[in-house]
Structure 1
């Protein structure tokens, strides 16, 4: 039986697209996965500037009402959390207004169009004392949780190298329409900002801060036609390749692509140290491959750890090992972490400050590409 005495938190969702669907599913299913919660989410209002679209999405996703004004929702006393799933260009204005209104903020990545924007968001949130969280979803995967534990336990020794890939083929077809994601004014970076930011967040989480970068970007499909038949130049990248030098001396590389023929969707990394190595792929999210010096010499090489209830939040979903955990389920983990942080009066992780650090790296890679030289991450 639902605890009707539980305190609720009102949710205002800004946006109606794919990520709005994913976030709504997470808010609606967090109790089903975790049982009793310190705060019960109440889906109050969904916002889109076209009211008919807002009403249709609110009905589909289970919100009580719809609005065409995010400003009204930010200032609504029934709403405690502003959940931002808009095109990237709107993150900064909405988040700062929400912080000043005392609302907690869960924002999709990348945090802002620029590092300066991400800093402004971070400073506003910290001044207001609100809880923040940013949608670097893969950090919730039990495999990455286990990887962090192995690193902390010294099982990998001194870290040597990190290699990460986020590859997709979503934009290889030149007939894919021009949208906000291919418009720098609304999206910022292309594959680098959208996909590469995820890989930077993983690298930060496992290895540490990145000191300097050397990057190249490329736009493969240089023109696209929008839904109205108007032709546009694409002014952000389809592909990026970056060398990384971490502050602790680890070196690495990272690729982000939305034009990877043959790879519909791949998020993977290899991390190597002096005493061991780990490999992970989101497409095989039920396992972590490890090779450790503590393994017997006659079994040298990578072996597979089947992830299970003992790893991260896996057990909230399944009582047995070896089952893939998808992105929708990882979003539920994000919601649980955010609710717990709000209830405890803390920020979540990754928060705005962590996402600001990611944005600094993205900006430095783009600067490196322009200058054709190494750039410090400041």
Structure 2
């Protein structure tokens, strides 16, 4: 009989809940414990999801002998210490994106995991969309010819309106970057998944919404992180492109995940997709043709979409553990994305092109 793998989940917010849901749909996986700082909330989450153990100290979860792998779905500033503690305990680790506050932390996590020989995963949700996997295969098989350019957009409305509510992801001490690392990391990862390594970047980062309201005290809190980001990138292949992300966009606000646009332009054909449900292929002299996604998600809300991709994501992480092999995206991919994020921040500060450090393994 195949052995079950015990998972511990750190975090009880939207992503933590999505990962719990994904794991509980899988054979050979069980959620053995959950951890979070608020005792009432963590106990409530454990009760709701039938999780046997609840901890307010993540180190107790990591030390739990029934936990063999840890899912880190906490705020960004906790990712590095929690991942390093998990790796030090020789346990497999899955980290939400962005994996760290900066590339230095990401490099430490990557090196430690490689040295310890543990399996890793990263929460690049759209990578687990069968539609994006199909487009990747089409590009790899040469259907588009040589890639000329990639153009990616990921926008939402979270900081629009008369008085946005403060969240941890807008706090500079808890998030190394703003929308660039939050939404932009998805697009950076997809761009490198499709077109290969980004080697240099130019960027402009803007903060257009200056304050958010503390929900408890009603105090106006200054916002210092970027809420609109625009990157120009160059790839090792010779292709180039643009990557934009925003929390202050009204386009497609009726959609569960806001606006996503991803265009792959090749010498033979081009692909255009929303990254979630729909894609079309465009060939010179022919009308656009739909690419069949085969996805049962037409009426899904944000939680439903996350649950579907999340189950596939957790299935991949479980497979990496059971088969003792890398299943991408791993911390290697998370580090590659973080290097681009850091380079973009430096480019915006210095107003010049910045080279992106390349991994040698």
Tell me which stretches of 4 or more aligned residues in structure 1 moved more than 3 Å: 321-325
- Residue 263 of structure 1: how far off its partner (Å): 2.8
Provide, for residues 96-126 of structure 1, a one-character-per-residue CA deviation record: whole Å limited to 9, x for no partner. 1101101111110000000000001111111
For residue 282 of structure 1, give the secondary structure of its aligned residue in structure 2: coil
The offset of 1:174, in angstroms, is 4.4
**1:157–1:346: structure 2 CA closer, same or farther, 3 Å change rule?**
same
Preserved contact between residue 262 and residue 275 of structure 2 (Cα < 8 Å)? no
Aligned to 1:356: 335
Alignment of 1:205-284 (within 5 A): 205-229=193-217, 230-264=219-253, 265-282=258-275
Deviation at 1:322, TM superposition (A): 8.3
Q: 1:235 aligns to what SS in structure 2? A: coil
- Please give the root-mean-square deviation of Cα atoms over the aligned residues, in Å: 1.7
Matched, 1:13 2:13: no
Structure 1 residue 169 displacement after superposition: 0.6
Contact 2:132 2:275 in 1 (8 A): no
The residue that corresponds to 1:76 in the other structure is 64
* TM-score under structure 2 length normalisation: 0.93
Residue 156 of structure 2 corresponds to residue 160 of structure 1 = no
Check the 8 A contact 1:181/1:187 in 2, yes or no. yes
Cα offset for 1:160? 0.4
In the other structure, the counterpart of 1:376 is: 355
Would you say 1:304 and 2:304 are equivalent positions? no
What's the counterpart of residue 143 of structure 1? 131
In the alignment, which residue of structure 2 is the partner of 1:48? 36
Q: What is the aligned partner in structure 2 of residue 291 from structure 1?
A: 282
**1:291, CA displacement in angstroms?**
2.2
SS in 1 for 2:329: coil
Q: Which residue of 2 aligns with 1:34?
A: none
Task: State the distance in 2 between where 1:17 and 1:78 align.
Answer: 23
For the 8 Å contact 2:344–2:354, the answer to whether it is kept is yes
Unpaired runs of 5+ residues, structure 2, are none
- Deviations along 1:45-92, one digit per CA (max 9) or x if unpaired, are 111122222101111223112111111111111100111000000000
Q: How many residues align?
A: 349
SS at match of 1:165: strand
* Alpha carbons 1:266, 1:282 under 8 Å: kept: no
Q: Which of residues 26, 33, 37 is equivalent to 1:30? A: 26
CA contact (8 A) 1:208 1:247 kept: yes
Provide the TM-score with structure 1 as the length reference.
0.89
Structure 1 residues 7, 269: CA separation in 2 closer, same or farther (over 3 Å shift)? same
Partner of residue 190, structure 2:
202
Structure 1 unaligned regions, length at least 5:
32-39, 309-313
